[in-house]
Amino acid sequence: MFERFEVLRDAEMSRFTTLKLGGPADYLAFPRSAEEITALFEEAGKAGMPVTVIGHGSNLLVLDGGIRGLVIRVEKNMRTIRREGNRIIAQAGAMLGTVAAAAAEAGLTGLEFACGIPGTVGGGVSMNAGAYDGEMANVTERVDGIYPDGRPVSLNREEMCFGYRTSAVKQMDFVVTEVTLALQPGDPQAIRARMAELTARRAEKQPLDLPSAGSTFKRPEGFYAAALIDQCGLKGYSIGDAEVSLKHAGFLINRGSSSRDYLALVRHVQKIVEERAGVRLEPEIRILGEEAEPA
């Protein structure tokens, strides 16, 4: 099965997430094209196998029992970036930081906010990733993709129905294959200076030296998740080797933890913040897979 594709069997997902956590996927595929994605869905369908699609794995918590069936990772083999006038067209697997650097090299402004977001452009439009007053909704002109049965789909900015950390991709359940970004001409030196400034701010305020999935929780309306967590006295709180970062309470970090302990910490933070502040925090991370069987 899957002999004609680049596929790993029993792939430890801790190798493929920025959290460095997660048990094995039965099969992990690295498609080279939209056509290969369709063919992988077909093969899995014939075998009655569930399919999970991921990008770089920067917002994933994969549980210790791993993921059954086929995981399609749209990343390393789909990273082509090209420029057409004031547009940057990137395959879904291109890293946002790389796309932002390509825009800067081309003297195009508008994507500086994305320079430090550790995800793919496909994942970025799927969840409307954003930082520092910018978000993908502001620069996305068109999103191309395919449904699991191979039907193509192409949506413009309005049809993408962008919202806070969401988009039509989640409702329509298709796989993003290419993104067209509409940018503006700018001064390359000023663009690079802004990117350097944002990179320095990230390094100062975020625990970039330890495994995490970025901001663990969505921003609740009228509040900031990190501020609520800090106000509830949870900075530095840990379960096993999963810890609320002392540097930024919105980041839950992995110091050698298990997914079980990390998920327990997520739930504990939710419980305490709801009890003490009356606000229910919703995870921004995507939780996949199965719990491990008890020892």
pLDDT in single tens digits along all 295 residues of the chain: 898 999 999 999 999 999 999 999 999 999 999 999 999 999 999 999 999 999 999 999 999 999 999 999 999 999 999 999 999 999 999 999 999 999 999 999 999 999 999 999 999 999 999 998 899 999 999 999 999 999 999 999 999 999 999 999 988 989 999 999 999 999 999 999 999 999 999 999 999 999 999 999 999 999 999 999 999 999 999 999 999 999 999 999 999 999 999 999 999 999 999 999 999 999 999 999 999 876 6
Q: Is residue 69 part of a domain?
A: yes
Same domain, 170 and 85: yes
Q: Show which residues are catalytic.
A: 165, 215, 284
Look at residues 248, 225, 224, 223 and name the one whose alpha carbon lies nearest to residue 235.
Answer: 248
Q: Domain range for residue 49?
A: 7-73
pLDDT number for residue 170 = 87
Taking the model in full, what pTM does it have? 0.94
Q: What are phi and psi of 211, to 5 degrees?
A: -60, 130
Q: Is residue 215 part of a domain?
A: no
Helices H / strands E in the chain, number of each:
7, 18
Same domain, 200 and 134: yes
Q: Is residue 218 part of a domain?
A: no
pLDDT number for residue 205 = 93
C-alpha to C-alpha distance for 261 and 196, rounded to whole angstroms:
35
Tokens 């990390």, residue located: 262
pLDDT number for residue 295 = 60
pLDDT number for residue 292 = 84
Same domain, 110 and 25: no
Tokens 């890293």, residue located: 95
Two tokens at 129? 């990733």
Residue 214 Cα to chain centre, angstroms: 9
As a residue count, the chain comes to: 295
C-alpha to C-alpha distance for 237 and 268, rounded to whole angstroms:
10
Same domain, 106 and 189: yes
C-alpha to C-alpha distance for 82 and 90, rounded to whole angstroms:
6
In 10 A of CB 189, how many CB atoms? 10
Domain endpoint, select from 138, 170, 205 = 205
Same domain, 137 and 177: yes
Two tokens at 26? 């039965």
Q: Is residue 108 part of a domain?
A: yes
Q: How many CA atoms lie within 13 A of 78 on its CB side?
A: 30
Helix ranges (H only) for the chain are 34-46, 96-105, 121-126, 168-172, 188-205, 225-231, 259-277
In 10 A of CB 252, how many CB atoms? 32
C-alpha to C-alpha distance for 67 and 116, rounded to whole angstroms:
28
**CATH code: domain of residue 250:** 3.90.78.10
Two tokens at 143? 């999103």
C-alpha to C-alpha distance for 11 and 133, rounded to whole angstroms:
37
Same domain, 182 and 250: no
Same domain, 52 and 88: no
Measured CA to CA in angstroms, residue 29 lies from 44, 59, 62, 246, 285 at distances of 11, 19, 16, 37, 22
Look at residues 28, 125, 116 and name the one whose alpha carbon lies nearest to residue 69.
Answer: 28
pLDDT number for residue 71 = 98
C-alpha to C-alpha distance for 140 and 171, rounded to whole angstroms:
18
Q: What domain count does the chain have?
A: 3
In 10 A of CB 192, how many CB atoms? 15
pLDDT number for residue 67 = 98
